[in-house]
């Protein structure tokens, strides 16, 4: 029989199951956290501004406390939105060659691709550099405005849940690197000018990064909905799954699961599982799809340059060789690492982690977990080549004299980046720690009062 859908229970104000006293003044019961990377159950210590708590088993950061978190995030988010508004309102980059030139705005890096029958790549560009960051920042402003007035605004919990899901897909910083690579590639062919939008977008990328780092999720969720008491009998110094518990990856709350290892978070309503369902199977399937797409991404041209009526198609490797011939070896290294080393390395690393997950133990699990963190972090930077194509296609439009058009490899390579990012998200690093641990290697166990 199908399992009935679980609904997130409401947390009305004043409920006796919620302790709304400041988290650092708790004395009756400690706040528990289950590490999302090794599943170790730990009691959070009192945290003050500028401090963070790490998992004693694998070193994963469990919580970070900021000074004046609401005011800090609110100010940075508003500044980021202003910078983004300036970036889309003024010219971005211009170029001139033999008396013929072109000037583009930021949005044209996506809209021009549609004219070349690359709507999916255009959607990926506009979402990652503008739409998703704007939605994220508006969500931050909405949340912090409610917390500053002491009364959360409507839909605050749903918005807070969405922020953690949006974060990996915002790539304004990657786009800046792509813009710099584009400028170096065309500097020898034409005269380049930087508009107000370029500098505004640089400021936006920096402010967006600071905004994401300033968001204190632990404090935010406690302020939004308090914190229900930890499940009775929960023991620190052991894994959560061995006690029928799971930590919410969105708000951090430790919850008790049903007999089949599933449930919903009592605070934010996120679905919970002892381990991600079919994690290895899904990761293998995504890795296979990424491998298939990686072949046309390298065999077909990613862009075609027309100079004096002559078309010159260029593959990813061909572009690296061309940069080396031009003497731009630092840029060639960046493109080679981002477009070749990172995708291949990520495919190999995730495949190896899937193979060794069942044979892992505490002696090597920490090293393998660090490898997983690295693959998860670097995956988004492969989008540099896609952004380079988007910028050059929009900017270099001088007819038969000099123009650039996207090749079929652009969509294939963008697909590789997205699929490998999904593969990293579906892999559950807690599997690396699931093998029985040597008794003398376990940290000292304790009990929550």
Model confidence over 125-179: pLDDT tens digits?
999 999 999 999 999 999 999 998 888 889 999 999 999 899 999 999 999 999 9
**196 and 242 both lie in a single domain:** no
**403 and 383 both lie in a single domain:** yes
> Taking all residues of the chain, what is their mean pLDDT, rounded to a whole number?
85
| DSSP state, residue 242 | G
Q: Is the pLDDT of residue 7 over 50?
A: no
For 443, residues 6+ apart whose C-beta sits below 8 A from its C-beta are: 40, 56, 57, 237
User: What does the block give as tokens for 147?
Assistant: 């917390």
**251 and 105 both lie in a single domain:** no
**199 and 213 both lie in a single domain:** yes
Q: Is the pLDDT of residue 6 over 70?
A: no
**362 and 396 both lie in a single domain:** yes
Q: What is the pLDDT of residue 69?
A: 87
**297 and 392 both lie in a single domain:** yes
**101 and 123 both lie in a single domain:** yes
Range of the domain at 282: 69-218+278-433
Of 108, 124, 115, the closest CA to residue 197 belongs to 108
In a domain, 159, yes or no: yes
Q: What is the pLDDT of residue 46?
A: 85
Q: What is the pLDDT of residues 370-387, one digit of tens each?
A: 999 999 888 888 899 899
Burial class (CB in 10 A: 0-12, 13-18, 19+), 28: exposed
User: What does the block give as tokens for 125?
Assistant: 């560009």
**57 and 100 both lie in a single domain:** no
Q: What is the pLDDT of residue 233?
A: 85
Q: What is the pLDDT of residue 20?
A: 45
Cα separation, 359 vs 39, in Å, equals 17
Helix and strand counts by DSSP (H, E) for the chain: 15, 17
Tally of domains in the chain: 2
In a domain, 76, yes or no: yes
In a domain, 4, yes or no: no
In a domain, 19, yes or no: no
3-state secondary structure at position 303? strand
Identify the H or E element spanning 311. Answer: strand 310-314
In a domain, 227, yes or no: no
**Sign of the alpha-carbon dihedral angle for 432, 433, 435, 437:** positive
Q: What is the pLDDT of residues 84-109, one digit of tens each?
A: 999 999 999 988 877 777 888 999 99
**287 and 378 both lie in a single domain:** yes
**354 and 246 both lie in a single domain:** no
For 332, residues 6+ apart whose C-beta sits below 8 A from its C-beta are: 320, 321, 323, 324
Cα separation, 413 vs 383, in Å, equals 8
Give the CA diameter of the chain: 78
Q: Is the pLDDT of residue 3 over 80?
A: no
């Amino acid at each position: 029989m199908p399992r009935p859908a679980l609904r997130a229970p409401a947390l009305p104000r004043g409920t006796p199951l919620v302790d709304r006293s400041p988290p650092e003044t708790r004395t009756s019961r400690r706040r528990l956290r289950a590490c999302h990377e090794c599943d170790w159950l730990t009691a959070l210590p009192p945290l003050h501004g500028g401090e963070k708590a790490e998992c004693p088993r694998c070193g994963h950061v469990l919580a970070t406390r900021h000074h004046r978190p609401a005011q800090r995030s609110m100010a940075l988010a508003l500044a980021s939105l202003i910078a983004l508004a300036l970036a889309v309102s003024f010219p971005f980059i211009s170029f001139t060659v033999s008396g013929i030139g072109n000037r583009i705005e930021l949005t044209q890096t996506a809209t021009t691709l549609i004219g070349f029958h690359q709507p999916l790549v255009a959607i990926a560009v506009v979402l990652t550099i503008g739409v998703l960051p704007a939605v994220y920042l508006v969500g931050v402003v909405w949340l912090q405005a409610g917390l500053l007035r002491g009364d959360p605004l409507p839909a605050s919990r749903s918005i807070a849940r969405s922020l953690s899901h949006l974060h990996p897909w915002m790539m304004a910083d990657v786009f800046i690197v792509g813009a710099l690579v584009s400028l170096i590639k065309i500097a020898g062919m034409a005269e380049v000018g930087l508009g107000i939008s370029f500098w505004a977008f640089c400021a936006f990328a920096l402010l967006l990064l600071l905004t994401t780092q300033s968001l204190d999720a632990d404090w935010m969720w406690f302020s939004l909905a308090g914190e229900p008491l930890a499940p009775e009998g929960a023991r620190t110094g052991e894994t959560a799954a061995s006690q029928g518990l799971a930590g919410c990856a969105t708000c951090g709350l430790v919850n008790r699961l049903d007999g089949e290892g599933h449930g919903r978070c009592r605070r934010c309503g996120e679905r919970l599982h002892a381990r991600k369902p079919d994690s290895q199977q899904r990761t293998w399937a995504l890795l296979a799809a990424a491998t298939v797409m990686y072949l046309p991404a390298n065999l077909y041209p990613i862009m075609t340059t027309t100079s004096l009526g002559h078309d010159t198609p260029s593959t990813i490797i061909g572009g690296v060789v061309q940069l080396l011939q031009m003497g731009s070896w630092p840029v060639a290294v960046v493109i080679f690492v981002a477009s070749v080393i990172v995708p291949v390395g990520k495919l190999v690393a995730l495949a190896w982690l899937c193979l060794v997950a069942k044979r892992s133990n505490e002696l090597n699990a920490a090293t393998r977990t660090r490898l997983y963190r690295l693959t998860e972090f670097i995956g988004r930077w492969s989008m540099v080549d896609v952004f380079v194509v988007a910028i050059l296609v929009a900017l270099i439009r001088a007819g038969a004299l000099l123009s650039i058009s996207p090749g079929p490899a652009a969509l294939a390579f963008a697909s590789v980046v997205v699929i490998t990012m999904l593969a990293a998200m579906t892999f559950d690093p807690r599997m690396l720690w699931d093998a029985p641990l040597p008794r003398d290697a376990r940290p000292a166990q304790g009990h929550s009062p």
